[in-house]
Amino acid sequence: MGIEFLIVNILLVILIVIASLVAVLLRDLLAAAIALAAMSLLLSLEFFLLQAPDVAIAQAGVGACLTTAIVIIAIKGTKRMEEE
Amino acid sequence: MIEYIPFIAVVAMIIIGLYTVVFRRNLIKIVIGISIIESGVNLFLIILGYRDGGVAPIFTSLPPGTSFPEGMVLPVPQALTLTSIVIGVAVLALMLSLVMHIYRKYGTLDVQKIRRLKE
Amino acid sequence: MTFLETLLQQSPVLIIATPLLSAFLMPLVSRIHAKVRDVFALVVLGVTSCFVGLLASDVLSHGPRIYIFGAQNLSFPLVRILFEVDSMGVFMAIITVMLASIAVVYSWSFLHQQDGLDKYYTLLLLVVTSALGMELTGDIFNFFVFLEISCIASCALIAFWVDEGEALEAAFKYIVVSSIGALFVLFAIGIFYAQYNALNIATLAHLLQFTFLDKIVLAILLVSLGMKAGLAPMHMWMPDSYGRAPPSIILIIMSATLASVYGILRVMFTLYGNVLTTSLRFSLPAHVIIGWILIALAIVSILIGVIMALVQTDLLRLIGYAGVAEIGYMFLAIGTSIVALGTSYATVALHGGLFHILNDALDIGLLFLVAGAIYYVTKKRSLDDISGLARSMKFTTVFFIIGALAVAGMPPLNGFTSKFLIYESVYQVNPILSIIALLGSILLLAIFIKVLYAAFLGPELPELKDVKEAPRSMLLAMGFLAVFAVVIGLFPNLVLDTLVKPAATALLDHAQYISMVVGGL
Amino acid sequence: MEKRTVAGALAFSIVVVFFLFSIFLLHPFGKPGQVQMDDYIITHTQNETGTNNGVTSVVFDYRGFDTLGEATILFSAVAGVLLLFRRVRH
Amino acid sequence: MTKIVKTTANILFPFTMIFGLYVIAHGHLTPGGGFQGGAIVASGCALLLVAYGSPWVFDHIKDKRLATFESLGAIGFITIGLLGLIFGAVFFGNFLAGSGSLFGTTPATGSTLADFNTGGVLPLMNFAVGVKVIAGLFVIILVMAYASSIKEWS
Amino acid sequence: MFSLESGSGFWNPVLWVLVVFVLFLLFYGIRGFGRSTYKKGTEQTKVFLSGNKETSAEEMHVKASNLYWGFTTSMKSLYSVLRKMHTGNTSDYILWFVLVLAVLFLIMGVM
């Protein structure tokens, strides 16, 4: 395995963890949903790099697009800010 | 050590998700936490199936000179992950519809206040 | 090959495919007429019961049966999904279809002319399918898939009364708890896959080495499935959702819960069957430690269940806590049989535990149906608001007394026969355990005497003057369960010899389960 | 500090430690140890299922029953959502 | 929504649709399949929801009809499995693979070019699952969006 | 055939029913030997409460939540602990899950 590939992978994985942390820590739920979408997209990219194009397409379609849409719909139906 | 960093990221995602479910008080945050746990488990399965220098297990216009089976990544974890992703979106949709209903009945999303059922 | 032989050969898949296809057809069928829909659900379950009966009669007389999806014979590395049906799976499948049929009959009147019933019956059939799949499958990932189906469908059913905030709350709690449990099961499956590159239960059991990873996986599986089964202290979702779901559906959710109990049994006895006797540190065999963990959880379940049930005023919630205690009895017996693995009273304990699964389904199910009937006629949940119902609801009172005495383990009803086996075998391990089990039974009796006194005896309240007896189909459903309870109580050997003992033998004989699949390897 | 936070922190740290321990016992990234099942699938997928895509052959043929379960999960989620929003009409 | 969004959606929607259907149809040859293609088409439908607003879509597309389509997709999937039981003697038996008829060619072992006429029952299953997933995901998102956009629920 | 063996004891429900039935007959017979001075419709059947008026059935009825008052009061400390445990908070359910998972990890890891 090339060391460049490993480094790219590790960077992506670290970005995914950071995105999920951001999604958890933000008080604005809409921003959290966008962070979750970013995490899903990065995850899909990681799947693609790990030679799983099928899963990458599914993750991009379901995770990044539909999940975000559903979360945003739910936020629209409830309340945007997380209360103290 | 450096080869285990993806696995450590998986553990980190699962723990971040669990932390969200246990210590965050917003219902939508809890749902996001469960989604993060699920993504972590998906990543775990895909990482397990990766083989050094392998290509995707698709034979259509394969790069010339690929030797198989050694030159291909494992297909079974990918199939399992596909199942898991669809399960994830189904659970998420159901949970968020419940959250919308709960907000109408309780007027809040704070998990500490949604506890008419106790003792 | 005759038609019957073909049917028998295909019966494992027909058991799954019939309710599944009918669930898919249900939205179309319910467009025709409400009556057609109601009858269709029962007919489908009847056909499924026939298949289960056919398969059961064959498995009990000729040994386990294997069904491979998509291939005629086993190919070397077991790439395909397979069903492995032994006496244990058949025993659980019989309980499931019985509970489901009774629940459908009960639902006819209970939910008469409420909206959303087409979805209700669809989801009901899906939960039944998932429970049957969990009980028949021989593939661990397939088990996970069915576990998720049961989570989602049960959650939607718990939230059936969307106008009540509490029902939605209970459903949300249920789905959070069970989806996290299921995700951890998936994580455990991933670790198994990484180690052994197999997903088949028999192959995994054959290859299992009891390394550190396997211990971690065992802990994860035990806790996640235990949470789904309602073991204390992870039991809190159980009174919530049982107390707020429509009582007609609780039998179905209970069958999914019992399927999780089956999952723990399968993990303990089959998956880890080869390595249970390995010596660990301090030269303690593994089975002693695992067994004592189970016994500790079981004792906590019994005590918390009965003590919390004593102060409940909501009848359905009270029975939910009693259900927690009953789950504790099952695990007390299972833990005892693991601690004492190899001795004769371990077998007796396992008989008691498995028999108690059936008896718990019958007795707690009967009590839930009675509570549902009370709710149906009075529209009141709290025990404080009802009194003197015995005057107007004579049959229901009789059924309640039968159910209450059976749950409390009074002779000669069925609850006593299994508890008798549990007391006797647990005494051999540690007398204190048997005393705690007896104490739990006494407290259960006290709890139900309270319910009897508060709800059925006492003066007639003015607002309950014009209360009538429950409708006929509800009485029929309750009557079935009550008759079963009495008959099994009077003639326990009828069930014990034909179903329970073969099931226990099949569980303990993991070598046969493995060799059915791995044989050639 | 609250008792709940302390208990949670303790339990979380134990879980993290054990997860990390167990992660290092797995095979390293990119070097799977046992591969007999997947190798069989890759070698035989073209002959047995006539498919060029290995993942599709696993999803729909070798583990087709799982996919049926997965479709069922989506179906039950749809039924659940429609059940929850059944009163929502014009 | 503004005219720009509507026009963009109008232009993008057919392309998403075609790409999704391509992914579904070529699931046995290239990356993709029923689930992935269904998810892509459902995303396109979500775009429609964003552009035109859920009440408009709810007026034009009945959720009951979508649910029926979903049922039909699921029934089709399980029926193909049962056909395997009838023609191939086992549930989910791939009775068309290698038969030489519809989808029955076997590709040569090793690296080959795409041959659409392969895969046995897999393309049919892809199609059934595709219909199911499109209808299922779209009805979920449609009903939830409509419910979140109105004040009174019953 | 009807009896259930447990290795150290046995249980025969049919025998039990027979014994109970015989005992019931026996006691019924013994009851018949008693004096029959009890007469319905006379002063004998009235409740005597030291001359006070008899309270109505509705007032006499103890509500379900007061039934085991003595027991719950004496076990107050236990109940306060258990009440504190059942918070009804969804997060706490998962916290219990994590706690039990941690304990099992410790046991399994040390052994």
Name residue F4's beta-bridge partners. F11
Domain spans of chain B, in order of start: 1-50+73-119
What digits encode the pLDDT tens for the residues A34-78? 999 999 999 999 999 999 999 999 999 988 889 999 999 999 888
Q: Which of F78, F87, F89, F97 has the highest number of chain B CBs within 10 A, making it the mutation to test binding with B?
A: F89
**Is D56 an 8 Å CB contact of chain A?**
yes
The larger pLDDT score, comparing residue C42 to residue E92, is at C42
Residues of B in contact with A77 (CB under 8 A): 100, 103
* A43 token code pair: 């995850």
Closest by Cβ to B86, choosing from D16, D41, D70: D70
Q: Residue F4 and residue C493: Cβ atoms within 8 Å?
A: yes
Give the chains touching C; criterion: ≥3 Cβ pairs < 8 Å.
B, D, E, F
Q: Please tell me the least confidently modeled range out of B8-22, C141-155, C403-417.
A: C403-417
Chain F: touching chains (3 or more CB pairs < 8 Å): B, C, D
D-chain CB neighbours of E106 within 8 Å are 46-47, 50
Q: Which two tokens stand for residue D32?
A: 């799977």
Question: How far is residue E38's CA from residue C297's CA, in Å, rounded to a whole number?
Answer: 45
- Look at C156 and D75 and tell me if their CB atoms are within 8 Å: no
Residue A54 contacts D where some CB pair is shorter than 8 Å: yes
Q: Nearest-CA residue of chain B relative to E151?
A: B104
Residue C157, pLDDT score: 94
- In chain E, the residue whose alpha carbon lies closest to the alpha carbon of B66 is E111
Q: Which of A54, A66, A76 lies at the smallest CB-CB distance from E32?
A: A54
Q: Judge: D11–F109 Cβ closer than 8 Å, yes or no.
A: no
The residue of chain E nearest to residue A75, with distances taken between CA atoms, is: E148
Question: What is the mean pLDDT of the segment spanning B14-24?
Answer: 93
Q: What is the residue extent of each domain of chain E?
A: 3-149
**Model confidence over D39-83: pLDDT tens digits?**
888 888 888 888 888 898 888 888 889 999 999 999 999 999 999
H, E, C per residue of chain E: CCHHHHHHHHHHHHHHHHHHHHHHHCCCCCCCCHHHHHHHHHHHHHHHHHHHCHHHHHHHCCHHHHHHHHHHHHHHHHHHHHHHHHHHCCCCCCCCCCCCCCCCECCCCCCECCCCCECCCHHHHHHHHHHHHHHHHHHHHHHHHHHHHCCCCC
- Identify the pLDDT of residue C318: 93
Q: Which residues pair with F13 in a beta bridge?
A: none
Q: Is the pLDDT of residue C209 over 70?
A: yes
With cut-offs at 50, 70 and 90, classify the pLDDT of residue F8. confident
Beta-carbon count within 10 A of C210 CB? 15
Coil, helix or strand at residue C382: strand
Taking each helix axis from N to C terminus, what angle separates C117-136 and C87-110, rounded to the nearest 10 degrees? 170
Residue in chain B closest to A64 (alpha carbons) equals B89
Helix (H, G, I), strand (E, B) or coil at D32: coil
For the cut 50, the answer to whether the pLDDT of residue D8 exceeds it is yes
Across the range C36-56, mean pLDDT stands at 93
Report the chain A residue with the minimal C-alpha distance to residue B111.
A83
E and A adjacent (3 or more CB pairs under 8 angstroms): yes
Q: What pLDDT, on the 0 to 100 scale, is given for residue F111?
A: 77
Contact F87 B25 (CB under 8 A): no
Q: DSSP letter string over C11-37? A: HHHHHHHHHHHHHHHHHHHTTT-HHHH
Q: B100 and A78: CB-CB below 8 Å?
A: yes
Over residues C126-152, the mean pLDDT reads 94
Closest to E123 (Cα-Cα) out of D54, D56, D67, D55: D56
Q: Which residues contact C73 (CB under 8 A, 6 or more apart)?
A: none
pLDDT of residue B56: 87
* In chain C, % of residues over pLDDT 90: 67
Torsion angles phi and psi, residue A63, rounded to 5: -70, -50
Tokens of C308: 């919390």
Q: pLDDT: is E1 or C329 the higher one?
A: C329
3-state secondary structure of C468: coil
* E143–chain C Cβ distance below 8 A for any pair: no
Asked if pLDDT for residue E36 goes beyond 60, the answer is yes
Q: How confident is the model at residue D90 (pLDDT cuts 50, 70, 90)?
A: low
- Contact check, Cβ <8 Å, C70/E71: no
The answer, for A50 touching chain E at a CB cutoff of 8 Å, is: no
- Asked if the model's pLDDT at residue B90 lies above 90, the reply is yes
Look at residue A84 in the predicted model and tell me its pLDDT: 64
Q: Which residue of E91, E152, E153, E154 is the best one to mutate when testing the C interface, meaning the one whose CB has the most C CBs within 10 A? A: E91
- The dihedral sign for the CA sequence C25, C30, C35, C36: negative
Query: Which residue type sits at D59?
Result: V
Residue B54 bridge partners (DSSP): none
pLDDT of res. C521: 46
- Nearest C-alpha of chain C: how many angstroms from F41? 22
Question: Which 23-82 residues of chain F touch chain C by CB within 8 A?
Answer: 56-58, 60-65, 67-68, 71-72, 75, 78-79, 82
Average pLDDT for B90-112? 92
| D11: chain F residues, CB-CB within 8 Å | 95, 98-99, 101-102
Does C289 reach chain F within 8 Å, measured CB to CB?
Answer: yes
Contact call for residues A74 and B99 (beta carbons, < 8 A) = yes
Of B22, B117, B118, the CB nearest to F91: B22
Q: For residue E31, which residues of chain B lie inside 8 Å, CB to CB?
A: 56, 58
Using CB atoms within 10 Å of the CB of residue F60, give its burial: 0 to 12 exposed, 13 to 18 middle, 19+ buried: exposed
pLDDT single digits (tens) C426-479: 998 899 999 999 999 999 999 999 999 888 888 888 888 888 888 999 999 999
Cβ separation E78–C70 shorter than 8 A? no
- Would you state the pLDDT for residue E89? 79
Q: Are D81 and B93 in contact (CB < 8 Å)? A: yes
Architecture in CATH of B1-50+73-119: Orthogonal Bundle (1.10)
What tokens appear for F56 in the block? 């109505």
Q: What mean pLDDT do residues F34-42 have?
A: 75
User: Which residues are bridge partners to F11 per DSSP?
Assistant: F4
Exposed/middle/buried for D33, CB within 10 Å: 0-12, 13-18, 19+? exposed
* Average pLDDT over all residues of chain C: 91
Higher pLDDT, B69 or D57: D57
* Range F59-67 average pLDDT: 78
> For residue F4, what is the enclosing H or E element?
strand F4-5
- Residue extents of the structural domains in chain D: 1-32, 34-90
CB contact under 8 A, E110 and B97: no
Tell me if there are at least 3 CB pairs under 8 Å linking chains E and B: yes
Whether ipTM tops 0.90, in short, is yes
Locate C8 and state its tokens: 């028998």
Chain-chain contact of B52 with D26 (C-beta, under 8 angstroms): no
Pick from F97, C98, D30, A72: nearest CA to E50: A72
pLDDT tens per residue, range C368-417: 999 999 999 988 888 888 888 888 889 999 999 999 999 998 888 888 98
Percent pLDDT > 70 in chain B is: 100
- E101 C-beta neighbours (distance < 10 Å), count: 9
What does pLDDT average to over chain E? 86
Minimum CA–CA partner of B27 in chain A: A82
Higher pLDDT, D90 or C355: C355
Contact D32 B93 (CB under 8 A): no
CB atoms F90 and B119 under 8 Å: no
**Nearest-angstrom CA–CA distance, C454 and D18:** 51
Phi-psi region of C84 (alpha: psi -120 to 50; beta: other; left: phi over 0): beta
**Closest C-alpha to C104, from C354, C473, C482:** C473
